[in-house]
Amino acid sequence: MSAGDPRRQQGAGWLFVTPAIVILGLFLVLPIGMALWVSLSDWAGRGSPFSGDVAFVGLDNYSALLAEPGLARQDLMLSFRNTFYYVVGVVPLQTVLALSLAVLLNNQFLKGRTFFRTAFYFPSVVSSVAISLLFLFLFAGGGAINNVLGWFGLNGPNWFQDPRGLIHLLGDGLGVWSTSSPPGWLTDPTVLGLSPWEWVAGPSVALSAIMLQVIWTTAGTFMLMFLAALQDLPTEVEEAAFVDGANKWQRFRNVTVPHLRPTILLVVTLGFIGTWQVFDQMYVMTQGGPAKTTLTPAYLSYQTAFDTGRWGQGAAIAFILFALIFALTTLQRWILRDKDEPRTSRFSRRRRRRRTTVQDETQTQAQTSGRLS
């Protein structure tokens, strides 16, 4: 009997995948089932979650987090608010920085390209804990960043202790409102446990420092993706545009960017998936503070379960976060897919099919690399 024998392949096939099934099943699929049960129970962390003392409470944990007024809902909404500003700040900036670095490195006259590429990419491979310690020092009250700001006559804040929101500060600076006595119409009613004044705060100074750190760290990985795509751009196309009299910016805008569209899509998708999961920096640097302005759903979930022993709520937050990330990536996919719908000629149908394949591929890549980073 040789390896080509179907019965042999049947047995060997299952034998080959068994270690993977056991480990992924035991530490990934089974835990999700257990956590689902815990999120529907009142387990407080003592004994087994499956013992008779633990009661089934239905959707109580979810409703405490989403529907009923109280501290649980307020904290979750704060964490959503913080992460929303975090995502809105980090994703575009890291994409633009990554693209800029890639374009700089792609210059044909550049000498020492390997050095610069290494320098820009290196932070991406370093542990988030090591980078966080470094940034705690750089952004300290009398640290390097504030020293540099001092050269320009600026008084840097005490970054990681500063809970003031950037939009609050901006409004104050422009004379729209005063942060010490916010306008009454913004403080009175509450929407989902927070006043409009709290919703529009913007990222706090502390969160902004973390955002700068994350942008600085992750841009390198995305830069490599852009660089690979830029090198696929046929030289002839750009030259044709040059001969046609297009200037540098026009060539970039009308030749390079359309060519990079799939890569931009990939980078933005990865950015979304990654930023909603932010946890390490909060654990190491701020523990959610100051004034809960760096609280994120992932950190809140951990804190609720491990620090305060409300395991049901902690697990429920994890599922809510999962649903949110899933919904956002599906939505993004759907928006981008819909663009080609109306046309029906054979040509455009064929094009659409191609586009769809590219998108599916992008999605898989996003998932693969998302787990890698």
Partner 1 sequence: MSTTTRSRSATSPSTSGPVGTRRRRGGQAVFYVLLVFFALLYTYPFVIQLVTAFKTNPDATNNALSLVPDPVTTDAWVRLFDSDYPTWFLNSTIVTLCVTAGRVFFCSLAGYALARLRFTGRGALFTGLLAILAVPGIVLLIPKFLVLNYLGIYNTYPALFVPLMVDAAGIFIMKQFFETIPVSVEEAARIDGASVFRTFWSVVLPMARPALITITILSFQGSWNELGHFIIATNDPGLYTLTRGVAGFTTGGLGSGNQYPISMAAALLMTIPTALVFIVFQRYFTQGANAGAEKG
Is residue 314 within the footprint of partner 1 (CB under 8 A)?
yes
49 and 41 Cβ atoms separated by less than 8 Å: yes
Is residue 308 within the footprint of partner 1 (CB under 8 A)?
no
Percent helix, strand, coil in the chain, to 5, is: 70, 0, 25
Give the C-alpha separation, 280 to 370, whole Å: 16
Considering beta carbons, is residue 178 or 356 the nearer one to partner 1? 356
Considering beta carbons, is residue 176 or 240 the nearer one to partner 1? 240
Considering beta carbons, is residue 177 or 322 the nearer one to partner 1? 322
- Pick out residues in 280-299 that bind partner 1 (CB under 8 A): 280, 283-285, 287, 298
- Pick out residues in 163-222 that bind partner 1 (CB under 8 A): 216, 221
- Pick out residues in 1-20 that bind partner 1 (CB under 8 A): 2-4, 6, 8-14, 16-17, 19-20
Q: How far is the CB of 55 from partner 1 (least distance, A)?
A: 17
Tokens representing 180 are: 């010490």
Binding region for partner 1 (CB under 8 A) out of 88-96, 181-189, 190-198, 314-322: 314-322
Give the C-alpha separation, 117 to 122, whole Å: 8
Is residue 252 within the footprint of partner 1 (CB under 8 A)?
no
Considering beta carbons, is residue 84 or 122 the nearer one to partner 1? 122
87 and 273 Cβ atoms separated by less than 8 Å: no
Considering beta carbons, is residue 268 or 325 the nearer one to partner 1? 325
By C-alpha distance, which of 91, 140, 31 is closest to 271? Answer: 91
Give the C-alpha separation, 220 to 105, whole Å: 12
Burial class (CB in 10 A: 0-12, 13-18, 19+), 136: middle
Is residue 21 within the footprint of partner 1 (CB under 8 A)?
yes
Count Cβ atoms below 10 Å from residue 14 Cβ, excluding itself: 10
Give the C-alpha separation, 77 to 71, whole Å: 10
User: At 128, which amino acid appears?
Assistant: S
- Pick out residues in 330-349 that bind partner 1 (CB under 8 A): none
Considering beta carbons, is residue 136 or 186 the nearer one to partner 1? 136
- Which single residue is written with the structure tokens 């920085």? 97
Is residue 144 within the footprint of partner 1 (CB under 8 A)?
yes
- Pick out residues in 55-114 that bind partner 1 (CB under 8 A): 101, 104-110, 113-114
Of positions 250, 254, 308, 364, contacts partner 1 by CB under 8 A: 364
Of positions 207, 211, 273, 300, contacts partner 1 by CB under 8 A: 273
Q: How far is the CB of 192 from partner 1 (least distance, A)?
A: 22
